[in-house]
C-alpha cells in the first residue's frame, strides 16, 4: 500500500485477479486429484458391486454448500473493493483532459499546456477527463490496469497513480476506423522536479485572449476546437464566410474584425444562420482593451504573417490540435495519409474526377487538400480525411507555413 492509504488502480485490479486466480488454481488441482483417485479406487474390476446403500449425508451437503458460497462471496468482495477504488478518484489528483479523435490523442493540462503524450509526475494521482470529438474510442493503459471508453457527447473519468518513473504504453482499445492502430502513445511518468520544469516551460504559450474568452463565459457556448455548441465554434472564425440573418434576411459576410466586434457588442443584430439569438449583448459590459484583444485574437490579426515565425508556430499547434498527426507523420514514416515531411513542392499522383494525374504540392494544392481533401486524393491513400472547410483562411495559411518548414 502506498503512503496515501488508498488502493491504486493497479493494486485494486491485481488483488482481485490474483485472488480469483489462486482459488481457481486450488480448485483445479483439488478436483483433478479427487477425480483421478476415484477413477482408480472405484474401478469396476476392483469393485464390481456397489457395497454401500447410503443415499444421504447431511453434513456433507452443508459443507459443500457453505464452502463454495464463502469462496464466491470472497471473490465478490475483492471485485467490489477494486471497483470502488477504480471509481473513487483521490481528492489530491491532478486533472488532465484527454481528447480522443480519429486517430490521435491530445492531452490538456490545467495551465493550458497541451501535448500528444501524457506527461505526469511520479507519486501524484492523475485524474483523466475523457472526451471524444467523433466516435467511440477507449483509453487503455495496461501498466495501470485502466481501460475506459471515450464517448462522444459524454464525459467519462479514470485515474491512476504513477509510482515509478518510466514510459508506459497508452492505446485506443475500441476499434474506431482505419487509423485505430495508430492511436498509440505513452504515459511519461517523470520525477516530480522534472515534471514541474516541463509543466512550467512555455506554460504561457496560450494567448491571453483565451483566458479572456473563458473569463467572460464565451467558451460556455463557443468552443475553441471546432466542436458544436449553443453558438458557432470560434475555431478559424477570422476571415471565414458566414451566412447571417439581418432583419429576417439572409446575407453572406466575411467574419473580419469589424463583424466580430459587432457580434460581441450587439449579437442579436446579425445572428449566424442556424443559431438562436440567445447571446447577451456585451456593449458596456466589456472594457475596450479586452474587446480589442479578443477581436484581434479571433480575427487572427495579431498572429499570422505569411510564413512568419508566429504563423509557423500557430500552424504547428493547429496541426497537433486538429489531430492531423494521427494520420500524417512528420518524419517520413508511412501512416494512414501521406507524410508531411517534404510535402511542400512534392510531386504526387492524384485522382481527380476518376483520372490520374501528377501534381506538385504548391500552396493552392495544399490549401485545397485541407479544405476539401476528397477532391484530389493521392493514389494509395484511403478517402477517410474529414473536410476542414470550417477553418479560416489564416489558419490554413498558418498550417501551410508550418508544412513548408518540414523539409
Classify the phi-psi angles of 350: left when phi > 0, otherwise alpha if psi is within -120 to 50, otherwise beta: beta
Region near ligand CUA per CB under 6 A, out of 17-25, 35-43, 174-182, 356-364: 174-182
Distance of alpha carbon 246 from alpha carbon 262, whole angstroms: 13
Task: Tell me the closest approach of the beta carbon of residue 106 to ligand CUA, in angstroms.
Answer: 12
Residue 180 in the binding site for ligand CUA (CB under 6 A): yes
Q: Taking Cα atoms as reference points, which of 298, 232, 296 lies closest to residue 267?
A: 232
Alpha carbons within 13 angstroms on the beta-carbon side of residue 231 total 22
Applying CB under 6 A, among 172, 244, 304, 400 the residue interacting with ligand CUA is: 172
Comparing CB distances to ligand CUA, the nearer of 170 and 343 is 170
Comparing CB distances to ligand CUA, the nearer of 150 and 298 is 150
Residue 58: exposure state from Cβ atoms within 10 A (0-12, 13-18, ≥19): exposed
Comparing CB distances to ligand CUA, the nearer of 180 and 222 is 180
Count the site residues for ligand CUA by CB under 6 A: 9
Each residue 121-140 as x (binds ligand CUA by CB under 6 A) or -, in order, gives: ----------------x---
Residue 298 C-alpha cell reads as 479571433
Task: Tell me the closest approach of the beta carbon of residue 346 to ligand CUA, in angstroms.
Answer: 29
Residue 175 in the binding site for ligand CUA (CB under 6 A): yes
Applying CB under 6 A, among 176, 234, 271, 299 the residue interacting with ligand CUA is: 176
Residue 174 in the binding site for ligand CUA (CB under 6 A): yes
Each residue 331-370 as x (binds ligand CUA by CB under 6 A) or -, in order, gives: ----------------------------------------
Residue 183 in the binding site for ligand CUA (CB under 6 A): yes
Alpha carbons within 13 angstroms on the beta-carbon side of residue 319 total 23
Region near ligand CUA per CB under 6 A, out of 153-161, 170-178, 212-220, 381-389: 170-178
Region near ligand CUA per CB under 6 A, out of 27-35, 156-164, 172-180, 342-350: 172-180
Find the binding residues for ligand CUA in span 83-122 (CB under 6 A).
100, 103
Cβ proximity of 130 and 148 under 8 Å: yes
Task: Tell me the closest approach of the beta carbon of residue 17 to ligand CUA, in angstroms.
Answer: 25
Task: Tell me the closest approach of the beta carbon of residue 100 to ligand CUA, in angstroms.
Answer: 6
Comparing CB distances to ligand CUA, the nearer of 6 and 168 is 168
Distance of alpha carbon 152 from alpha carbon 128, whole angstroms: 16
Which residues would be at the binding site for ligand CUA (CB under 6 A)?
A: 100, 103, 137, 172, 174-176, 180, 183
Amino acid at each position: 500500500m502506498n503512503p496515501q492509504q488508498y488502493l491504486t488502480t493497479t493494486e485494486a485490479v491485481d488483488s482481485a485477479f490474483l485472488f480469483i486466480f489462486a482459488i481457481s488454481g486450488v480448485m483445479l488441482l483439488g478436483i483433478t486429484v479427487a477425480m483421478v483417485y476415484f477413477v482408480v479406487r472405484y474401478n469396476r474390476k476392483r469393485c464390481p458391486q456397489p457395497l454401500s446403500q447410503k443415499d444421504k449425508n447431511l453434513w456433507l451437503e452443508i459443507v459443500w454448500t457453505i464452502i463454495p458460497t464463502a469462496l464466491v462471496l470472497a471473490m465478490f468482495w475483492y471485485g467490489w473493493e477494486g471497483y470502488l477504488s477504480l471509481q473513487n478518484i483521490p481528492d489530491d489528483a491532478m486533472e488532465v483532459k484527454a481528447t480522443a479523435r480519429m486517430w490521435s490523442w491530445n492531452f490538456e493540462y490545467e495551465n493550458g499546456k497541451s501535448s500528444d503524450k501524457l506527461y505526469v509526475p511520479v507519486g501524484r494521482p492523475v485524474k483523466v477527463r475523457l472526451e471524444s470529438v467523433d466516435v467511440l474510442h477507449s483509453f487503455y493503459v495496461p501498466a495501470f490496469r485502466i481501460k475506459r471508453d471515450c464517448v462522444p457527447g459524454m464525459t467519462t473519468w479514470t485515474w491512476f497513480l504513477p509510482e515509478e518513473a518510466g514510459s508506459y504504453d497508452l492505446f485506443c482499445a475500441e476499434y474506431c476506423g482505419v487509423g485505430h492502430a495508430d492511436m498509440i502513445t505513452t504515459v511519461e511518468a517523470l520525477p516530480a522536479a522534472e515534471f514541474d520544469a516541463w509543466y512550467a516551460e512555455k506554460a504561457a504559450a496560450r494567448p491571453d485572449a483565451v483566458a479572456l474568452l473563458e473569463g467572460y463565459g464565451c467558451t460556455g457556448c463557443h468552443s475553441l476546437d471546432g466542436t458544436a455548441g449553443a453558438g458557432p465554434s470560434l475555431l478559424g472564425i477570422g476571415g471565414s464566410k458566414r451566412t447571417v440573418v439581418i432583419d429576417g434576411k439572409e446575407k453572406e459576410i466575411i467574419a473580419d474584425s469589424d463583424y466580430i466586434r459587432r457580434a460581441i457588442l450587439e449579437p442579436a443584430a446579425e445572428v449566424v444562420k442556424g443559431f438562436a439569438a440567445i447571446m447577451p449583448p456585451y456593449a458596456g459590459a466589456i472594457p475596450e482593451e479586452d474587446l480589442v484583444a479578443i477581436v484581434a485574437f479571433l480575427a487572427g490579426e495579431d498572429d499570422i504573417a505569411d510564413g512568419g515565425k508566429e504563423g509557423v508556430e500557430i500552424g504547428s499547434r493547429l496541426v497537433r490540435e486538429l489531430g492531423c498527426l494521427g494520420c500524417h507523420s512528420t518524419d517520413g514514416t508511412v501512416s494512414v495519409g501521406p507524410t508531411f515531411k517534404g510535402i511542400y513542392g512534392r510531386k504526387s499522383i492524384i485522382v481527380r474526377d476518376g483520372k490520374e494525374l501528377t501534381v506538385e504540392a504548391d500552396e493552392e494544392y495544399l490549401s485545397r487538400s485541407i479544405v476539401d481533401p476528397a477532391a484530389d486524393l493521392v493514389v494509395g491513400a484511403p478517402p477517410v480525411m474529414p473536410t476542414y472547410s470550417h477553418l479560416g483562411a489564416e489558419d490554413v495559411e498558418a498550417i501551410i507555413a508550418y508544412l513548408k518548414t518540414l523539409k
